[in-house]
Amino acid sequence: MGLTEEIAKRRTFAIISHPDAGKTTLTEKFLLYGGAIQTAGAVKSNKIRKAATSDFMDIERQRGISVSTSVMTFEYDGKLINLLDTPGHKDFAEDTYRTLTAVDSVVLVVDCVKGVEAQTERLMEVCRMRDTPVIVFINKMDLEGRDPFDLLDELEEKLSIKVRPLSWPIGIGATFKGVYDLYDGDLKLFESIKSKIEGQSVHIKDLSDPKLDDQVGEDAANTLREEVELVNGVYDKFEVERYRAGRIAPVFFGSAFNNFGVKEVLDTFVRIAPTPAPRPTDQGTIAPDQKDFSGFVFKIHANLDPNHRDRIAFMRVCSGHFERNTYYHHVRLGKEVRFSTPTTFLAAQKTLVEQAWPGDVIGLFDTGNFKIGDTLTEGADFTFRGIPAFSPELFRELINKDPMRSKQLEKGIRQLTDEGVAQLFTQSIGSKKVVGCVGELQFDVIRYRLEHEYGAVCEFQQIQAHKACWITSDNEEELAAFIRVKHTQILQDKDDNPVFMAPSAYMLELERRNNPAITFHTTSEFKTASI
């Protein structure tokens, strides 16, 4: 099979949602249909009875949440699916934002009881920045939730995107009887089957067919006919090209926990989701069908296998053809690198791969050469753009509780912050280390992983810090003078760039006014284009 055929075969997407909307459960059902697993893990009441396949870190299994993006590859209906299950918790949003740079489309899971929540809005903002195609799955229809039309209105209003139902529920909660597939004209009757494969559907192309009354009852059938007529009259006709351009989102209804309405989403996704798309670089756009290989690192994970203390860089293949044991050009380091054990994943389970194609996500064993955003090519010097880094919202000083384990702490905090869940700022005076995170839960995870993966015991101490600002200036003397005067508030990031740790919003504004020659950046990506 050639490059063109391999590209056409691939679909790479992420599943995103607010916490507890059922994202990881939906992921498991997709894997079930793809034959990648035989029994799905059950997630209920935020406690994992049987650990979900995609939640492989100890702390994820204990807390019942996903805190790290999992990469899973499986085949379905002749297509090769690269599925990325992302953290739903807002404290780990940065990992999700970066993951969205590595996919071509997303499936957004919405809880029918709670509707559109704050984290859902933030995630969709990132999708809209790139015009990422979105399919919406409204979950938990077997619970007493909100009216479907109200949910659709909220989706359009809060997410600023047109929607078009491609399936429609028959009842909700106690009266939920199933869904009608508007795309294929199939009726799916609901039963609580959990991890089993869905039963066969009843084909009813014409809703006036009396067979519909026999299946769901006369009242429910008449309500369905009225609501479908309203849907067809109010919502725009679904067009695949508008979906692929990010202008309209098809909507499906179901219950992931009961494995209901899931197959319609997967079947439709395989048919309409885009193939691998071109990617912007600092030298222009790179198309997937370009002959020469290229790819970028969007995630780094240390200790995927705690027994081997490994470090894996996750790379999205963007063009050409990747081969094992072939030398490729590491653009940032300016050197050639070779990989003898590239892998694909089913969560923590790794499989050696000989080759990879555009759209594929592969893991590269890393000895410390990679940082998030690094580009690999077949010799060309260009860098992929738009790998976001967000300014932290919370800052804590890292305190070593066991001086005998200082080396382990140093290694651990640098490796964990290389993963991107937090940012590390250091000060040469007294070797002060400040960790910046988006939310409090990140500090708990870092403390836990430092102790259990590196044997380093620490605590986090609050400091007075409002914002970390990277500072640059065209006038080197002015910059040097500012750093000298403000040395107690100047730290370095992991790339040794100077950072001004502003103690308050007022002080930041004051320094901006008093130092017009200096630019204060609130993103660590100040040297490259942002999303």
State yes or no: pLDDT of 198 exceeds 80.
Answer: no
- pLDDT of amino acid 91: 47
Q: Specify the fold of 3-272.
A: Rossmann fold (3.40.50)
- Number of alpha carbons in the 13 Å side-chain half-sphere of residue 392: 26
Phi/psi at 259 (5° precision): 55, 40
Phi/psi at 30 (5° precision): -60, -45
- pLDDT of amino acid 108: 95
Alpha-carbon separation of residue 351 from 296, 468, 476 (angstroms): 20, 40, 50
- pLDDT of amino acid 205: 77
pLDDT band for position 309 (50/70/90)? low
* DSSP states of 440-487: HHHHHHHHHHHHHHH---EEEEE---SEEEEEEES-HHHHHHHHHHTG
Rounded mean pLDDT, 235-258: 94
Contacts of 222 (CB under 8 A, 6+ apart): none
Which among 62, 102, 59 has a CA at the least distance from the CA of 82? 102
Rounded mean pLDDT, 394-421: 89
pLDDT band for position 93 (50/70/90)? low
User: How far apart, in Å, do the first and last CA atoms of the chain sit?
Assistant: 35
> And the tokens for 398?
């890292």
Q: Where are the domains of the chain?
A: 3-272, 279-377, 394-521
- pLDDT of amino acid 230: 95
Rounded mean pLDDT, 190-211: 71
Contacts of 322 (CB under 8 A, 6+ apart): 293, 295, 328, 342, 355, 356, 357, 360, 362
> And the tokens for 240?
């695949």
pLDDT band for position 306 (50/70/90)? low
Report percent pLDDT > 70 for the chain.
85
Is 279-377 in the same CATH topology as 3-272?
no
> And the tokens for 214?
């026999």
Q: Say whether domain 279-377 belongs to CATH 3.40.50.300.
A: no
Please list the residues that pair with 76 across neighbouring strands: 79
Superfamily of domain 394-521: Peptide chain release factor 3, domain III (3.30.70.3280)
Q: What's the CA gap between 378 and 375, in Å, rounded?
A: 10
DSSP state of 282: B
Which among 476, 477, 475, 468 has a CA at the least distance from the CA of 520? 468
Rounded mean pLDDT, 69-94: 75
- pLDDT of amino acid 67: 35
Q: What's the CA gap between 304 and 71, in Å, rounded?
A: 12
Rounded mean pLDDT, 165-188: 90
pTM: 0.77
Identify which has the larger pLDDT, 192 or 222: 222
State yes or no: pLDDT of 482 exceeds 80.
Answer: yes
- pLDDT of amino acid 506: 94
Residue 340, amino acid: S
